[in-house]
Structure 1
């Protein structure tokens, strides 16, 4: 649940063949009856030669607005962490698109790097799963190329609070009373937001949270898991799940101990991977050499984020191929 504003500087160019690239298109999911608009980025299979696309501080290899190559393709939705944005995991999205997936990453409204006006407290934790459900609804109905997507093959990837979001969607019911009320060191990573996210006297009942059985397989990395520490809280999570944890942690509510307990109490044994010498933010995409001092760019001494992401992306692609089909 770590602050990711500085993820703006993250950049990673995934190696790919000259004749293949991820198509990139920006989407706008309109305002609903009681819901805000959602901005999103979509990557899709593309047969054209990539070019360097400049987005803020990022240089991304992609083909803007490339026609989607293929039919009945699997769909993966990406949910960012606290203060993140839809390009914070773009290398993973590119790897999936190159492998035949349509990938959509969203900016959670009022809880992303550009607008944190409602990022703290329980309201955003209840709204996040709704945001993902609305995104899936849009991609299957109102998206102009919805016929290109197979509604029976939907996956999800989430990091930090995004991992929490996925677990709720998969059927988990969090115990919000376990959220940290205070941190001993107010300057430590994750403490300011944890201290502002104190649960009220009467947290929302689990049955008010949104689950979505259309999601058939899920990858979560260093999820906010302190709220999922009992077998009862995750007893309904039975879809194939790949769970990643950082050895060194650093995210409030996503300590290595919390993540390990989550792995143990899940009813179906997850594909659990612990990344040696990784910190919480090591799951973010690479940073340019010009901004390596940003919080989002600092890894433990000796950790090679680029090498890790090559392995991580390959494993994520392989997991979704196994569980959603080629």
Structure 2
């Protein structure tokens, strides 16, 4: 893999020049917005118990619980997890962004997360994800207790897999639900195909022009997008893709979507599988879910995430016109 050393240098400079850690406020009062907000905080990180947000064997995140927010006019980034994931699945990316001066918000998508998969195969999940993201964005901008620190004109997005699909929609893409037809053979009894066969097609999902730039990793549901269906996207994008795919994502389809996007955004490749974009696994996590933690021989997920996170910070900083920390 071609290494982007200047990104690694930028990452090192940012880390070396900042004493801040990620403050964390847990969103656990409203089950429809279950997640967390990360932000700059001038304190040392420590394990933060998740309480009612505990997911099976995951019961803490690193950060400083309810630390006062450091800074003002801070950019905001929404992070969207993949199918069956959870709000902390990209915790290292959220921490990197918070350390670089961003506010970061993520939630568990209803019916499509590690604790509840009841809607993962539903057609309505395709529209519910963008709608729930907009609800989260509305909450952070209008109801979050520290909303005054956010620069409402500097909003970015990072999404993985179904979360990357969500980013395409929010940015202006229009999925073609009729493209589902070839997958819904008589033997396919999935919830989505049952809905499709009885004509229970959801309305077009919503967009959100408040999002000004996005980084998308291994976009899912690529078959739903033709170049014409992607033409409405007018914001800067950075695309990451895995070399070998997995998790229902075919690398060839990701390439096709990326090549069909307006502006021909930069595409970067990680020499690993789909799940390499998830945060590096703890020993306990790897023992419980080895398929999410197994990478090719010689591949260092921790080292890759230093590069990935540095690229996300740099891209969003540049395209949201954010002054670099000195």
TM-score grouping bracket, smaller chain normalisation: 0.7 to 0.9
Aligned pairs for 1:1-326 within 5 A: 19-28=19-28, 30=30, 37-55=32-50, 56-57=57-58, 60-179=61-180, 181=183, 196-198=191-193, 200-201=196-197, 202=199, 204=201, 208-252=204-248, 254-276=249-271, 278-293=272-287, 294=289, 295-324=291-320, 325-326=322-323
Unaligned runs of 5+ in 2: 1-13, 51-56
Please provide the CA RMSD for this pair.
2.4
- Deviation (angstroms), 1:61: 2.9
Residues 219-251 of structure 1 show CA distances to partners (whole Å, capped at 9, x for unaligned) of 110011423442111000110101111000013
State the secondary structure of the residue aligned to 2:207: coil
Rounded Cα–Cα distance in structure 2 between residues aligned with 1:69 and 1:79: 24
Unaligned runs of 5+ in 1: 1-14, 31-35, 187-191
State the secondary structure of the residue aligned to 1:213: coil
More helix by share: 2
- Deviation (angstroms), 1:195: 5.2
Between 90-99 and 147-156, report the one with greater CA deviation: 147-156
Rounded Cα–Cα distance in structure 2 between residues aligned with 1:140 and 1:292: 36
> Would the aligned equivalents of 2:177 and 2:224 in 1 still touch at CA under 8 Å?
no
Q: Report runs of 4+ in structure 1 exceeding 6 Å deviation.
A: none
- Deviation (angstroms), 1:211: 0.3
Question: CA, structure 1 residues 235+88, in 2 after alignment: closer, same or farther (shift >3 Å)?
Answer: same
- Deviation (angstroms), 1:178: 3.1
Question: CA, structure 1 residues 138+57, in 2 after alignment: closer, same or farther (shift >3 Å)?
Answer: closer
State the secondary structure of the residue aligned to 1:37: helix
Rounded Cα–Cα distance in structure 2 between residues aligned with 1:303 and 1:225: 27
> Would the aligned equivalents of 1:75 and 1:102 in 2 still touch at CA under 8 Å?
yes
Question: Paired residues, what number?
Answer: 296
Residues 262-319 of structure 1 show CA distances to partners (whole Å, capped at 9, x for unaligned) of 111111111211112x101111011112443522111122221111111100111000
What TM-score results when the alignment is normalised by the length of structure 1?
0.84
> Would the aligned equivalents of 2:225 and 2:257 in 1 still touch at CA under 8 Å?
yes
> Would the aligned equivalents of 2:244 and 2:251 in 1 still touch at CA under 8 Å?
yes
- Deviation (angstroms), 1:125: 0.8
Rounded Cα–Cα distance in structure 2 between residues aligned with 1:205 and 1:61: 38
Question: CA, structure 1 residues 110+225, in 2 after alignment: closer, same or farther (shift >3 Å)?
Answer: closer
Residues 178-216 of structure 1 show CA distances to partners (whole Å, capped at 9, x for unaligned) of 347279xx9xxxxx9x9554360446466x311000000
Rounded Cα–Cα distance in structure 2 between residues aligned with 1:86 and 1:133: 15
Rounded Cα–Cα distance in structure 1 between residues aligned with 2:224 and 2:132: 21
> Would the aligned equivalents of 1:84 and 1:113 in 2 still touch at CA under 8 Å?
yes
What TM-score results when the alignment is normalised by the length of structure 2?
0.84
Question: CA, structure 1 residues 16+64, in 2 after alignment: closer, same or farther (shift >3 Å)?
Answer: farther
State the secondary structure of the residue aligned to 1:110: coil
State the secondary structure of the residue aligned to 1:211: coil
> Would the aligned equivalents of 1:29 and 1:135 in 2 still touch at CA under 8 Å?
no
